[in-house]
Chain A
Amino acid sequence: MALTGLFLSFFLIIHLIGNLQLLLPEEQAHLQYNLYSDFLSTNFLVQLIAYVLYATILLHTIDAIYLTIKAKKASGAGYVKDKRNRASKWYARQMMLLGSIVFAFLVIHFKDFWYPYKFGELPMDANGNKDLFSLVITSFQELWYVILYAVAILSLGFHLLHGFFSAFRSVGVHHPKYNQLIKSIGVVFAISLTFGYLIIPFFIYFNF
């Protein structure tokens, strides 16, 4: 869980950096983003890592389902009056729910961008690359779509807020000083990624 989670966290940084190109001036963003997308879908090394990524997403999901079933079995009948929530953060207890929202979002995300790009017919841009940029811009013209993204990204943000430091604990980092540091880095990481990913749909919605 921890290792797959950390790998996915690393991917999120790379994915965000790539997508931030959408915020460049329109002319430049249009060609550069399509060129970048073409590079990702044709480079052998990137393709190889992409398969590792798909496997990681599946492993992370299967592990989460297994642990949730195990916890459900272990929990017993439950309490008539249950105030155990006072001892932990809501997002730490709802990792499965947050993860499920992110997974559902991933399915939509793949269907709307990954699938049409890989297997669909897309028009070409001036440089002869598939015009993913226009597809992205068109998609984010709809307010409901922007809101859907915002909900998914916020879920991801809270998932990371707990998941980041938790992963380090699971692999065995137990020095009090470094744990505090990792916890702080985790907060900065989760907030930065949430903000970074949120800004894109809203920027497109209000500027195009």
Chain B
Amino acid sequence: MKIHLKVWRQKNRHTKGKMHDYTLTEVDEEMSFLEMLDMLNLQLAKKGERPVEFDHDCREGICGQCGVMINGIAHGPLKNTTTCQLHMRSFKDGDTIYVEPFQAKAFPVIRDLKVNRTSLDEIIAAGGYVSVNTGQAPEANTILVSHEEAENAFDAAACIGCGACVATCKNASAALFTGAKIAQLARLPQGKKESNKRTINMVNRMEDLDFGHCTNTEACQVECPQDISVLTIAEMNYEYNKAKLKD
């Protein structure tokens, strides 16, 4: 199939970027979106041009490295899917596809489609440590965790930190990401000791960074590859208010 691409090209964060037009003629519908970009890069390399830079790692939808705006939607037209799990069968022969980097002040463009998402790591780092017993392997039932608790915690822990929530939010808020990280530990008995400090530090760090405020439009969950619930944001607010009252 023939695909027309409009790709954002930007040399570095200090230069202005703009859309460039490319056409690929032999795109296979079984290709993943990233394989299609590989194909474009191969053509560019053969012509001696600089390839389009984009983030990727596992290409299995679990690492959270890939992530671009495809036709104005984070990770493209399919809901709850990473860019690498989007395949060209989702497009038609002759389609024009816009490919842009995630946009947010907290995600400065490094080059082309590659953005710096260190700010998300900074939020996690602000959470600090979780106290655990060390030494010999503990007896399995020392800390009781019900199946429901474990599943609920894992629902939040499934966040892969791709940043689609920030990119899709009209306020560029990182509330879903931070909410997921806080809820993941808040739903388990481990780490309770640091719970209040962790929540306050993570939320304050999020506020200090260049993210906007959550206004509960719920767009983040729709585009989140892991379908992280917006209720984790409410849970973060609950944990934060609770921690502030005890602070």
> Which chain A residues have a beta carbon within 8 Å of chain B's beta carbons?
67, 70-71, 73-84, 86-89, 92-93, 95, 162, 165-166, 168-174, 176, 179
- B213 touches which of A67, A162, A165 (Cβ 8 Å): A67
Task: Please report the C-alpha to C-alpha distance between residue A171 and residue B236 in the assembled complex, in whole angstroms.
Answer: 10
Q: What total of chain B residues lie within 8 Å of the partner, measured CB to CB?
A: 46
Judge whether A71 and B105 touch: CB under 8 Å: no
Contact residues of A: prevailing secondary structure = helix
Interface segment, B40-48, B65-73, B121-129, B142-150? B65-73
**Contact of B218 with A92 in the complex, beta carbons under 8 Å:** yes
B241 sits at the interface (CB 8 A): yes
How many angstroms from the CA of A34 to the CA of B174 in the assembled complex?
Answer: 51
Q: A171-B237, A174-B231 are in contact. Are A81 and B98 (CB under 8 A)?
A: yes
Given contacts A74-B173, A87-B223, contact A172 B241 (CB under 8 A): yes
- Tell me the interface secondary structure of chain B in the complex: mixed
Inter-chain contact A89/B217, CB cutoff 8 Å: yes
Q: Which of B87-95, B164-172, B188-196 lies at the interface? A: B164-172
Contact A82 B172 (CB under 8 A): no
A71 with B172: in contact, given A76-B103, A83-B73 (CB under 8 Å)? yes
Known: A83-B73, A86-B222. 7 other contacts (CB 8 A): A79-B69, A80-B8, A80-B98, A87-B218, A87-B223, A173-B234, A173-B238
Are A93 and B217 in contact, with the CB atoms below 8 A? yes
B6: interface (CB < 8 Å): yes
Q: Are B73 and A86 in touch, CB under 8 angstroms?
A: yes
Q: A74-B171, A77-B103, A87-B222 are in contact. Are A169 and B217 (CB under 8 A)?
A: no
Q: B107 — which chain A residues lie within 8 A by C-beta? A: 76
User: Which residues in A have their C-beta under 8 angstroms from that of B218?
Assistant: 87-88, 92
Select which of A67, A95, A162, A174 is within 8 A of B238 by beta carbon: A174
Which chain B residues (178-230) contact chain A, with CB distance < 8 Å?
A: 210-220, 222-223, 229-230
